Amino acid sequence: MTPDFIRKFHIYEILTKTSINNCKSRQEIINTLETLYLDYHDGDKLYQGLLVSNEKTISRDVKDIESFFGVEIEHIRHKGHYMVNQSVITKTHRTVFDKMELFLASHKERQWSPYITTEESSLNTEINILGLVKAIARKVYIKINYEGWYDDDHFSEIKQATVQPLHIKEANKAWYLLVYNEDIGVKVLCLDKRISNILITDHLVEDPYYFDKLIYFKDAFGILKNDIKTETIRIKVANHHFKYLESKPLHHSQTIISRPVKMNTDILDYTDKNIFGEISVTLKPNYEFLIELFKFNLWVKVIEPQWLIETIVEQHKFILQRYYPDI
């Protein structure tokens, strides 16, 4: 997140509380931002964008907010700005700003530690998320450097590449940017310290690559998409965890085949078949999916396909031998 993005975020928050009878002048917005900085963020470089003295900066920010969110912000002379219709804000846009609030809370955790505990995000604070979103919408090129780790095709590097940004996705406490050019194809880049020197250009993509997230991620689990065959996985789930997967499905393809006969039990007897329900998911069972299954411990049991059962058993045997090599 950049200081400019943070300023726009707070201007947006200010304008959501306005109406035709409760406008905010540009100077009032400037004063509110300054008070916010002095009261909560004095000395924090990440928040120095809140200190503005030029009303033209506020005008430009308001136009950016309108463009990004598709909202309408009117200006009444001698009164100020107000947001005409907030209902058009999409769920996705609202989620982005909800995540922004969490990110800012995480940044301030040391100062606010007596009051709040957050999970850290690996997002590089120098990355302008709003600028990237606009670049995707405008279909303009960006230039990037990327130094990959082992999971990035064995330390693959991208140097001064000109690419079309396609989509931003959050997964596993991290943010990822999908990009494309003819040389590298569609590439998934983590927006952490691996990525650097992002330059958003004004050069329009002449023949834009068509990207549909619903198609691209249809059978994917997590962020990775590879050549693994799509399969339907049947899983037995213990009653206490069944409730969690019912409220937060393992995958968008999740289907409930049967519910536990005993939904509420004081004692968790995993030998009792009546405490297990069954679900199915249709996806590419990559290593991210395996990690997710391992997290569920003895609460779940894969019952189909057989090769996945054998893979899980072999990996558990290997782990057991590392701890008890004499067995």
The answer as to whether 163 is a domain residue is yes
Residue 114's pLDDT band (cuts 50, 70, 90): low
On whether both 45 and 144 belong to a single domain, the answer is: no
CATH number of the domain to which 199 belongs: 2.30.30
Of the listed ranges 31-35, 55-59, 183-187, the one predicted with least confidence: 183-187
The residue out of 77, 112, 147 marking a domain boundary is: 112
Residues 275 and 49: their CA atoms lie apart, in Å, by 55
pLDDT at residue 304, rounded to an integer: 95
CATH number of the domain to which 253 belongs: 3.30.70
Neighbours of 103 (CB within 10 A): 20
Neighbours of 262 (CB within 10 A): 14
The answer as to whether 297 is a domain residue is yes
pLDDT at residue 29, rounded to an integer: 95
The answer as to whether 67 is a domain residue is yes
Residue 303's pLDDT band (cuts 50, 70, 90): very high
If we measure between CA atoms, which residue out of 108, 110, 106, 109 comes closest to residue 120? 106
What average pLDDT is seen over the chain?
85
On whether both 240 and 270 belong to a single domain, the answer is: yes
On whether both 92 and 44 belong to a single domain, the answer is: yes
Of the listed ranges 31-35, 116-120, 133-137, the one predicted with least confidence: 116-120
pLDDT at residue 45, rounded to an integer: 81
The residue out of 165, 186, 213 marking a domain boundary is: 213
On whether both 93 and 193 belong to a single domain, the answer is: no
Which range marks the domain in which residue 306 is found?
231-323
pLDDT at residue 285, rounded to an integer: 92
On whether both 287 and 207 belong to a single domain, the answer is: no
Residue 101's pLDDT band (cuts 50, 70, 90): low
Residue 46's pLDDT band (cuts 50, 70, 90): confident
On whether both 93 and 146 belong to a single domain, the answer is: no
The answer as to whether 226 is a domain residue is no
Of the listed ranges 56-70, 142-156, 253-267, the one predicted with least confidence: 142-156
Q: Is the pLDDT of residue 94 over 70?
A: no
pLDDT at residue 234, rounded to an integer: 97
On whether both 107 and 53 belong to a single domain, the answer is: yes
On whether both 143 and 177 belong to a single domain, the answer is: yes
On whether both 183 and 240 belong to a single domain, the answer is: no
The answer as to whether 117 is a domain residue is no
Mean pLDDT value across residues 205-223 = 90
For residue range 304-326, list pLDDT tens digits in order.
999 999 999 999 999 999 999 88
Q: Is the pLDDT of residue 47 over 80?
A: yes
The answer as to whether 175 is a domain residue is yes
CATH number of the domain to which 19 belongs: 1.10.10
Q: How many domains does the chain have?
A: 3
The answer as to whether 118 is a domain residue is no
